[in-house]
Amino acid sequence: MGAPTVRLRRLAAELRQLRKLAELTREQVNEQTGINVATLYRIETARVRPQARTLTSLLDVYRVAEPKRSELRTLLKQSATRGWLHTFPSDLPERYASYIEFESEAREVLNYECLFIPGLLQTERYARAAISGGDPGLAREEVENRVEARMRRQAALTKAEPLRLWAIMDEAAVRRVVGGHEVMREQLDHLLRIAELPTVQVQMVPFDAGAHPGMTGSFVVMTFGEAAGPDIVYVDSQAGDLFLEEEADIARYNLVFTHLRAGALSPSASASLIAAVAEDLRPG
């Protein structure tokens, strides 16, 4: 099926909750509807999109009345609508594809990065150097596919209703010279320009801030409109990518981001730090 849309994810969560409220196991739902237990599991985890008649059967068993019934039918129709990724000519890793689908429908992204410039703020040359350097085993074609996808993602910042981005970086992210001095200087200049957008906030956590809660790793919190469902936390690590949806996890990462925001330099002071680092990279 490919990466789930945000609305399919919300529909799955709604159906899980309705079954629990009805105090039914998947086996009991199977007995009353004939829907295979494995199929029901896949529906409830957004791995498949239910057919309209399947949804109707589930709503009947769960005794769902209007207007909730119509709301979920509408959600099913909307769940088939995909973003630009479905026309992307090359395959991307499943988790990355899911991330892109979620990001394309998010209203706001809170992004903390330890070592890299956030993907939404990267230049093409920096992205190419970061992707190839971060995963030396990638073939050149795979690197270029990911660079292209990263560049297309950035349209979210300038669309009619732009994505709101709050990016916080450790100072290491701008100090580490990725791709050489020229590429890094170009990247920092770009970062300063894009930080001037009214919907983009950029803050730096300086080295002299000492230990801080972001030192355990980078993460992203994505928030959506009411119609698209609850927030998602995305954590990227060497052990694998994780999507966290439990309220406790979301609250924990929001709290970490709040602490980072309070301990970081102001946006204007952050811009001064970035400009100073860029100046050090200029020849002569």
> What pLDDT score does 7 carry?
75
Q: Which CATH number does the domain housing residue 204 bear? A: 3.30.870
Provide φ and ψ at 267, rounded to 5°.
-55, -40
**C-alpha to C-alpha distance for 40 and 26, rounded to whole angstroms:** 7
| Structural domain contains residue 84 | no
> Of 217, 115, 234, which is closest to residue 175 (Cα–Cα)?
115
Q: Alpha carbon 86 to chain centroid distance?
A: 17
pTM for this predicted structure: 0.78
Domain boundary among 46, 78, 110: 78
> What pLDDT score does 88 carry?
62
CA distances (Å), 194 to each of 21, 158, 189, 232, 245, in order?
A: 47, 10, 9, 25, 30
Range of the domain at 16: 6-78
| Structural domain contains residue 1 | no
> What pLDDT score does 3 carry?
53
> What pLDDT score does 95 carry?
75
CA distances (Å), 138 to each of 19, 123, 130, in order?
A: 43, 20, 12
> What pLDDT score does 11 carry?
87
Q: Which CATH number does the domain housing residue 24 bear? A: 1.10.260.40
Q: Is the peptide bond before 283 cis (omega within 30 degrees of 0)?
A: no
| Structural domain contains residue 143 | yes
Which distant-in-sequence residues (6+ apart) come within 8 Å of 111 by Cβ? 118, 120, 165, 166, 167, 168, 218, 219, 220
Q: How many domains does the chain have?
A: 2
Spans of the chain below 70 pLDDT: 1-5, 81-90, 226-229, 238-240
> What pLDDT score does 85 carry?
55
3-state DSSP call for residue 26?
A: helix
> What pLDDT score does 1 carry?
47
Tens digits of per-residue pLDDT, 184-201? 999 999 999 999 999 999
